[in-house]
Amino acid sequence: MAASLTEIPVATLTGAARRAARIRPMSDSTAVITPAVDALRAIGWPFDARSPDWSDWASLLAAHPDARAARVVEQHRSGYIVAEAPGEGYGVESLPDWAKPSGYRAGRTDPTERPGVGDWLLVEGEGNAAKAVALLPRRSAIKRAAAGEHYKQQLIAANIDVVFVVSGLDGDFNPRRIERYLLLVHGSSARPVIVLTKADVADAATVAEAREALATVVEDGVDILAVNARDTASVAQLDRWLGPGRTAVLVGSSGAGKSTLTNSLLGIERMKTASVRENDSRGRHTTTYRALIPLPQGGCLIDTPGMRELKPTGEEAVADTFTDVEALTGECRFRDCSHEAEPGCAVRAAILSGELDAQRLASYRKLADEVAGAAGRLATRQQQKSESRPGSPPSGRRPDTRPGRR
């Protein structure tokens, strides 16, 4: 049974927040506990008391009457830090399944079914006794396939509204890599925005060339911003995606300026940054963990470590992000045209006429192959998982963190 509107905010309260709470009756006789919801909202709580689309969350809250909601703000090897208000992070004991080695073997939780930064958990108990009892369903998630021999997915961030794809206008700039990011964002239910950093050190021609190179890569309606990430006034261009209740994640290679952007948006040097190598603009993998940071703009920002490799999970729809190539494919004389030597090939004609960039076609093919390969490995894993049976007894694990550390 779903909780009523009156029950819901109560269940999200604890400790000081519960004591500070005031019940404010509303005209239709529902009640909202203002301060606590405000605190949760400052860390991205997406609902107000009348949101129509949260019945799955409400029923989980009703199933755990002693629990309250908290958001995963940091993820370390040793465990999770959650928060119920800005600046009030504490460690929680994981559900036993989340602490087990990841994989698809008997009884193990899929790596992307355990919490990541941005997820909302239900938590019971205070201080050292605080433990997670449930993961609230995700509204969106961005994932990739993890590096390594075996197929594994990795959650990059959960419950996000916007993905800022960050790229430096230096040696880091690579439209093919941005294309790859856009493919992963497409499946996430979040909106992509491309942020080109280091505009202050690039000349006007470089900025114009980058925009032109991206014109064929991005779908209509995707914004492309050029910023000086070190400059507060310049990064204010991102504010329109960072209002109250919103969560954005920064993705991009090391040295692109993700943490520099974070600090400028925040107004303080919260994240460590480091200069890039001069010869090839590569970063030094300065950020080593994902962190969700409430911003003065009202929304939240997730800073992430630079990604070396961006492999598709197999769930992406290449056709949806390569609509230009797909449209041409539909005009080829043969339905199964390989665009190699067949007569009446619209794709080759478009390349000859300059309408389609040969590199764009090459990326399309490469990504389509990769997605198909990953989809095959994913299907095999899921098959193996469904054939195996649940195994070993649970064992809890607690991260080594002091309450109220952040």
Ligand X SMILES: Nc1nc2c(ncn2[C@@H]2O[C@H](COP(=O)(O)OP(=O)(O)OP(=O)(O)O)[C@@H](O)[C@H]2O)c(=O)[nH]1
Residues of this chain that bind ligand X (CB under 6 A): 197-198, 200-201, 228-230, 252, 254-260, 273-276, 283-287, 305-306
Cα gap 69→67, rounded to integer Å: 7
**Least distance (Å) from Mg ion to the CB of residue 274?**
8
Structure token pair of residue 378: 């994913």
Q: Which helix (H) or strand (E) holds 178?
A: helix 175-186
Window 239 to 268, contacts with Mg ion (CB under 5 A) = 258-259
Q: Which of 291, 337, 367, 374 binds Zn ion (CB under 5 A)?
A: 337
The item of ligand X, Zn ion, Mg ion, none sharing an interface with residue 254, based on CB under 5 to 8 Å by kind, is: ligand X
Cα gap 277→258, rounded to integer Å: 16
Q: Which of 345, 351, 356, 371 binds Zn ion (CB under 5 A)?
A: 345
Q: Which of 14, 287, 297, 401 binds Mg ion (CB under 5 A)?
A: 287
Question: What does the per-residue mask of binding to Mg ion show for 84-103, with x meaning CB under 5 A?
Answer: --------------------
**DSSP code of 108?**
P
Coil, strand, or helix at residue 142? strand
Window 339 to 358, contacts with Mg ion (CB under 5 A) = none
Cα gap 167→251, rounded to integer Å: 9
**Least distance (Å) from ligand X to the CB of residue 274?**
5
**Least distance (Å) from Zn ion to the CB of residue 165?**
30
**Least distance (Å) from Mg ion to the CB of residue 264?**
13
According to the binding rule CB under 5 A, does residue 401 interact with Mg ion?
no
Angle at 159 between CA 404 and CA 112, to 5 degrees: 90
According to the binding rule CB under 5 A, does residue 350 interact with Zn ion?
no
Closest CB to ligand X among 133 and 310? 310
Cα gap 112→104, rounded to integer Å: 11
The item of Mg ion, Zn ion, ligand X, none sharing an interface with residue 345, based on CB under 5 to 8 Å by kind, is: Zn ion
Residue 388 gets the label, from left (phi > 0), alpha (psi -120 to 50) or beta, of beta
Residue with tokens 């709470």: 21
Closest CB to ligand X among 23 and 274? 274
**Least distance (Å) from Mg ion to the CB of residue 4?**
43
Q: What are phi and psi of 375, to 5 degrees?
A: -60, -40
- Give the type of residue at 402: R
Q: Which of 227, 347, 374, 378 binds Zn ion (CB under 5 A)?
A: 347
Closest CB to ligand X among 304 and 363? 304
* 162, 248 contact by CB (below 8 A): yes
The item of Zn ion, ligand X, Mg ion, none sharing an interface with residue 260, based on CB under 5 to 8 Å by kind, is: ligand X
Cα gap 68→61, rounded to integer Å: 8
Cα gap 121→102, rounded to integer Å: 19
* 143, 236 contact by CB (below 8 A): no
Binding site for Zn ion (CB under 5 A): 332, 337, 339, 345, 347
Binding site for Mg ion (CB under 5 A): 258-259, 286-287
